[in-house]
Copies of this chain bind each other. A is one copy, B any other.
Amino acid sequence: MTSRQNRPRDRGIPEATVARLPVYLRALHGLQDRGVATVSSEELAAAAGVNSAKLRKDLSHLGSYGTRGVGYEVEYLVYQISRELGLTQDWVVAIIGVGNLGRALAGYGGFASRGFRVAGLLDADDSIVGQEISGMTVGHIDRLEDIIADHGVSIAVIATPAAAAQGVCDRVVAAGVTSVLNFAPVVLSVPESVDVRKVDLSIELQILAFHEQRKAGGPGDYEPVPGGEPPGAAHYVEAVEA
């Protein structure tokens, strides 16, 4: 059931569209930096790596922000997409788990530039607590509930080892967090009201491996996988310079 609301524009934006809006936004920022004022669906689509029909359909879910015969005004579209995504307000984030990955996240410029403010870096390891990372001091995980309450954290980023993730998740949810970005390779269980998105490095690699395997074997009738043959030796690719 989608909660229908009475808004000027129909507010049921398809999930697939939502997932692409950030990509469009980035492409638009690129155009903005190059001083481009107006862009056609064809051009923007190319910059975003989709086809133009899809782009137009996606944008049409936000409203009619283009001009027929002309295209879209870059600045205006940036604003509309930002607003739709909720990026015109700041979101407060806590990063839990300050290993290699947590560090990478803490230093990731893409957060701050999109209105995500990191309110705390937390870890359970005493040798990490107190360290200065990207201008922030790592706090002890004991302070999790305080940090969430004091700073109004609404999004938690979990970058702990797998074994710790569910426990941390339960705590952040109990403390009022309603969105979780999970980097730990586990399926988190949460109440229905909480959104979880997961990023799993090894899953992405496995999906690539599947397709890679398929390429290696030709269009024959037989099983593509021989059994123990190491890949790589016989690879060639058509030239790709540009």
A contact set with B: CB distance below 8 Å: 3, 5-6, 18-19, 21-23, 25-27, 29-30, 32-33, 47-49, 75-76, 78-79, 82-93, 99-101, 103-105, 107-111, 113-116, 151-155, 157, 170, 173-174, 176-181, 185, 187, 189-191, 193-195, 197, 199-216, 219-220, 223-225, 227-242
Contact = CB atoms under 8 A, between A and B. Distances in A.
A212 to B, nearest CB: 5
A10 B18 CA distance: 33
A222 to B, nearest CB: 10
Contact of A155 (B29, B212, B230, B234): B212
The complex is assembled from copies of this chain, and their number is 2
Contact of A202 (B6, B78, B111, B225): B111
A67 to B, nearest CB: 16
Contact of A179 (B85, B99, B208, B238): B208
A91 B231 contact: yes
A206 B33 contact: no
Counting from the closest, the 10 A-B pairs by CB-CB distance are: A152-B232, A86-B213, A110-B202, A100-B104, A49-B187, A101-B104, A22-B206, A179-B208, A22-B203, A75-B231
A108 B99 CA distance: 11
B235 A178 contact: yes
Given A100-B107, A113-B237, A190-B240, 12 more contacts: A5-B219, A26-B238, A49-B187, A79-B231, A79-B234, A82-B234, A85-B210, A92-B231, A108-B202, A116-B209, A193-B238, A194-B240
